[in-house]
């Protein structure tokens, strides 16, 4: 019984903000301060979602966008982890590369679209390149900031106990860097979803970003809302799954809050 109450409380706390958002949505629409034609009601957006899902291939758009984001994040983090580790572990490398990393990190991916089109065309590869760019630089920053703050005490203790370099790397360094890898993955995933619409500016016919852009052309506000909500929901689902995986992999890690 106690466990059921706990679960019910958790569910209630999770749903409460969404209920507040929907209530505020209706309140703003009915307040008279905004033209109601500019704010479709939640039930209208829900009806449009069902229509797009059943008749317009919304599920395929979600699949395409999710695949692009996952490919971009996978490739970006695969490259970012060793680079971020090297920058965090070797101070001279960090001093050398830090200005360049921060320079490219500050460039918005949408500004690179003309160059990406010139060098990679307008096919699927160009969209992946934009997402790779976003994931890579956000991942590098998180990795090297995290690795640079690892205390050397654990390594000294392992050396004192006679551990070899390979054992230190496998049993000390990798476990210490795993939390930062997972954090970099979560950050890169969020940045990539935020960059999705920009990546699908490159002649995309399908996808959630393309859905939003096409709807904006014809002033279909309910479709725009559907696209935005779908991006948020899919990103939230992926982040939740990643948090669950992180909790299992980092069960050994002490946390201040349960």
Domains identified in the chain, total number: 2
User: Global pTM?
Assistant: 0.86
Residue of 255 and 186 predicted with greater confidence: 186
- Under the phi-then-psi rule, with left for phi > 0, alpha for psi from -120 to 50, and beta for the rest, what region is 57? left
DSSP 78-117: HHHHHHHHHHHH-HHHHHHHHHHHHHHHTS-GGGGHHHHH
What pLDDT does 15 receive? 83
Let me know whether 18 and 124 are in one domain: no
Q: Range of 191's domain?
A: 41-249
What pLDDT does 256 receive? 42
**79, part of any domain:** yes
**256, part of any domain:** no
pLDDT at 137 over 50: yes
pLDDT at 258 over 70: no
Range with the poorest average pLDDT among 79-88, 148-157, 224-233:
148-157
Residues 6+ apart with CB under 8 A from 140: 80, 83, 84, 87, 101, 105, 184
pLDDT bucket at 131, cuts 50 / 70 / 90:
very high
**Residue the block writes with tokens 């990103």:** 235
Average confidence (pLDDT) over 94-102: 84
Phi first, then psi: what are they for 92, rounded to 5°?
-60, -40
**254, part of any domain:** no
pLDDT at 257 over 50: no
């Amino acid at each position: 019984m106690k466990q059921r109450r706990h679960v019910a409380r958790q569910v209630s706390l999770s749903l409460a903000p969404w209920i507040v958002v929907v209530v505020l949505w209706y309140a703003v629409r009915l307040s008279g301060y905004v033209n109601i034609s500019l704010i479709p009601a939640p039930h209208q957006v829900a009806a449009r979602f069902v229509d797009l899902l059943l008749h317009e291939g919304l599920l395929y758009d979600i699949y395409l966008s999710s695949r692009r984001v996952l490919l971009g994040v996978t490739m970006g983090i695969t490259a970012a982890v060793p680079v971020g580790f090297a920058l965090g572990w070797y101070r001279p490398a960090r001093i050398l590369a830090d200005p360049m990393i921060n320079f490219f990190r500050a460039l918005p991916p949408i500004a690179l679209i003309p160059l990406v089109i010139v060098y990679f065309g307008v096919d699927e590869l160009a969209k992946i390149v934009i997402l790779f760019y976003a994931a890579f630089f956000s991942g590098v920053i998180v990795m090297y900031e995290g690795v640079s703050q690892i205390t050397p005490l654990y390594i000294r203790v392992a050396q004192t106990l006679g551990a070899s370099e390979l054992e230190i790397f496998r049993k000390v360094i990798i476990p210490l860097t795993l939390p930062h890898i997972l954090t970099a993955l979560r950050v890169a995933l969020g940045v990539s979803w935020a960059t999705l619409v920009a990546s699908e500016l490159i002649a995309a016919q399908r996808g959630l970003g393309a859905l939003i852009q096409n709807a904006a052309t014809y002033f279909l506000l309910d479709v725009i809302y559907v696209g935005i909500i779908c991006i948020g929901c899919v990103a939230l689902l992926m982040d939740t799954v990643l948090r669950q995986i992180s909790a299992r992999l980092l069960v050994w890690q002490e946390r201040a809050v349960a």
